[in-house]
Amino acid sequence: MSYSKNRRAFLGMAGKAGTLAALRPDRLLGELFTQPDISKLISEKLHREHPRLHLRKSQWDVLREAIRQDTLLTHWYEQLQQTAATMLAQPTAQYKLVGPRLLYESRAALARISVLAGLYRLDGDLKKADRAREELRAICAFPSWHPPHFLDVAEMTNAAALGYDWIYEVLSEEERRTIRLKIVEFGLRPGLAEYSRGVSWSLPFANNWGQVCAGGLTVGALAIAQDGADDPGGLAPEPAHILALTTEKIRNPMMNYAPDGGWPEGPGYWSYATNYTCYMLSALLSALNTDLDLSEIEGFAQTGDFRVASIGPSGQQFNYADAGAKTGVAPEMLWLGKRFNKPLYITSECSVVSRAQPGIFHLVWSSPHTVDIKSEPLPVDINFKRIDLAYFRSSWTDPNAVFVGFKGGSNKVSHGHLDLGTFVLDAAGERWAIDLGPDDYDLPGYFGAQRWDYYRLRTEGHNTLSIGDDNQITSAKAPLADFKSTAQAGQATVDLTEAYSSWLRSVRRTIVLERQPQTRVVITDTITKGTAQTVRWNMHTSAEVTIQANSATLRLNGKSVRLTAESPKGGKFSTISADPPKPQGQQPNVKNLIMECPINDDRELPFLIRVTFTFQP
């Protein structure tokens, strides 16, 4: 029987005896989880020598030589040396909560340990190794890694594991023992307890937590597996126990990638989840020579398409859900590009990094001669079926191209806003229709009862339709009912009826990007009247706005875009403030360009709101 089949058979037997979620934590450390195939895999396949995470010793040697020969890698390496010089003078992490989280300290520790320890492997500078060791001592002296907010544990476990593995030869035996024990005590055992109680992030279609937690715990387990024969009690059983769970449970959140790589939580949480998935798979491959077929999960091989498609010509991403507009670096694109032979992913990430700072994993997951890779673009129009999202652009090569991101989907997704039907628009290298992104996570009830009180999350705070002060129905779904792409145009229709069903009989929004004979964007809302008397059309912009009759001219950085209200007859634009009461986030440079549209009295005839965007040559 193959490894994967044997593993599935074991978990099936465990399910007959009682679900994993029903197991007591003490049983998790007992006989049931001495899973024969995991233990055998570790015993027979584990690369015993350190470093074993992501790159082995000989692979670090290859990377060192690649940096000497490749101008782009040399540039990244020099930038990281500057980052390291700053980190050497920074204080170590402290046990300090911000809101309910230790996460900021976990991330600071991970950043310093990974950069300093990684550069030590490349340049042998003991000052960097010693500073990474100070960070390890600091986090091992914490009272815990804060399991009440388990992301804190996952990221700190990842940090401790990388430090332990990458500067292993610099650590004393006592330091190694201490780090191993803390990875078990503060990381793996709390992880086993979380899995035993069936936490939501271990369930099918879980959010980003499922990958982050599984990824951090897996890296921790692989770092210390089979080490510590002289520790009290001998070799720790927890690495095998946790790997039996993480390698099975991560399949649940990875179901979100099917069928085409789209991600419901937006591009920010796509990066977080996918980054930790790649940490996990990369570490499994380097330590055990297998990723247990996890990279074969449906949609994962295509998920870099989602990242590439989401970035407009302005350099900003379509930042729906709790995502910022700034496109952050995503070194996982390099791992995905190599694993699935997708040069586009590598060239896309190199373009992003050219405007930002690289991380150590841009080197770790790089390919020699990265800068010389040639790639073919995606189609100019692309949709992601399960999440009901569409992107259109006039060109992939023109920096002044017109770009539209258009969203349907569900109001119930993790980190979602009440924004069905919203869009962003780029032209002439600028973003004209913007998404305000998230507000402060520590606002009262941000993830609870007050979430829909905050402007940036409410319907009125997005580029969609609103009715008075009401939000869209919070449980609504808006399917992408139509998607077409030709040389002349790309278009999609989202059925918004469920979102407005308390006020209107039906609502459908269609966006068309016409490429020929001239480039323009047409947004049409087709509405059948219900009880609502007026519908407001909203678009947030940071441009200067001039109103003339039924049109509005937007000006930004010497460029202009013209909006024309083709329907309803007599439609007129105006602007209102996008600043909600404090302490909500303020954006005084942004205004909401609106059009108030009284609905006709005939309940049987559709009412049209049609706005056309035209662009200066």
Average pLDDT over residues 572-600: 95
Strands 607-615 and 520-529: antiparallel
Show me where the domains of the chain are located: 35-372, 381-615
Token pair recorded at residue 188: 């793996």
- The C-alpha atoms of residue 183 and residue 186 are separated, in whole angstroms, by 6
Domain spanning 381-615, CATH class:
mainly beta
Strands 504-514 and 559-567: unpaired
- Contact of 335 with 278, CB cutoff 8 Å: yes
Q: Is the pLDDT of residue 45 over 80?
A: yes
71: amino acid identity, one letter: T
Is it the case that residue 16 has pLDDT exceeding 60? Answer: no
Mean pLDDT of 58-73: 95
Partners of 567 in the β-ladder: 610
pLDDT for 603 beyond 90: no
Lowest mean pLDDT among 115-119, 244-248, 529-533: 529-533
Please state the rounded mean pLDDT for residues 136-154.
Answer: 98
pLDDT of residue 617: 64
Per-residue pLDDT tens digits for 576-588: 999 999 999 999 9
Helix locations, 89-207, DSSP H: 103-123, 126-140, 150-166, 173-182, 189-196
Mean pLDDT for all residues in the chain: 92
Does residue 204 have a pLDDT over 80?
A: yes
Both tokens of 246, joined, read 């993480």
Q: How confident is the model at residue 29 (pLDDT cuts 50, 70, 90)?
A: very low
pLDDT in tens, 403-426: 999 999 999 999 999 999 999 999
564-583 residues labelled b (16+ CB within 10 A) or e (exposed): bbbbbeebbbeeeebbbeee
The confidence score (pLDDT) of residue 27 equals 39
Partners of residue 574 on adjacent β-strands: 594
Nearest to 217 by CA among 167, 271, 282, 151: 151
Pull the structure tokens for residue 55. 């790159």
CB 462 within 8 A of CB 435: yes
Q: Inter-axis angle of helices 238-249 and 36-45, to 10 degrees?
A: 110
Task: Note the pLDDT of residue 331.
Answer: 98
Phi/psi at 539 (nearest 5 deg)? Answer: -150, 120
Dist. CA 116–CA 83, nearest whole Å: 9
- Give the confidence band of 30 by pLDDT, cuts at 50, 70, 90: very low
What is the distance in angstroms between the CA of the first residue and the CA of the last residue of the chain?
65
Average pLDDT on 594-610 reads 85
Q: At a CB cut-off of 8 Å and minimum separation 6, what does 203 contact?
A: 210, 252
Encoded amino acid at 573, one letter: F
Which pLDDT score is estimated for 501? 97
Kind and range of the H or E element at 41?
helix 36-45
Rounded-to-10 torsion of CA 343, 349, 352, 354? -80
Give the per-residue pLDDT at 616: 77
As a whole number of angstroms, the distance between CA 439 and CA 266 comes to 15
Instruction: Give per-residue pLDDT as tens, 113-139.
Output: 999 999 999 999 999 999 999 999 999
- Please determine, for residue 447, whether its predicted confidence score (pLDDT) is greater than 80: yes
> Could you give the C-alpha distances from 401 to 267, 425, 426, 555, in angstroms and in order?
21, 10, 8, 17
Percent of the chain residues topping a pLDDT of 70:
92
CB 235 within 8 A of CB 180: no
In terms of Cα–Cα distance, which of 205, 224, 210 is closest to 262? Answer: 205
Instruction: Kindly tell me the burial class for residue 614, based on how many C-beta atoms sit within 10 Å of its own C-beta (0-12, 13-18, 19 or more).
Output: middle
Top pLDDT among 529 and 136 is at 136
Higher pLDDT, residue 604 or 217: 217
Residue the block writes with tokens 């030590």: 120
Structure tokens at 344: 């586009």
Instruction: Give dist(CA 373, CA 429) in Å, integer.
Output: 25
Yes or no: say if 147 and 174 are a contact pair by the CB < 8 Å rule. no
What residue has token string 């869009």?
A: 423
Q: How high is the pLDDT of residue 369?
A: 59
Select from 1.20.58.1880, 1.50.10.100, 3.40.50.150, 1.10.10.10 the CATH code of 35-372. 1.50.10.100
Burial of 467 (0-12, 13-18, 19+ CB in 10 A): buried
Per-residue pLDDT, averaged over 458-466, amounts to 98
Nearest residue to 290 (alpha-carbon basis) of 254, 243, 324, 249? 243
Q: How confident is the model at residue 605 (pLDDT cuts 50, 70, 90)?
A: confident
Rounded Cα–Cα distance for residues 410 and 397 (Å)? 32
Confidence of residue 604 (pLDDT cuts 50, 70, 90): low
Q: Give the percent of the chain with pLDDT over 90.
A: 89
The phi, psi pair for 610, rounded to 5°, reads -130, 125
pLDDT of residue 371: 56
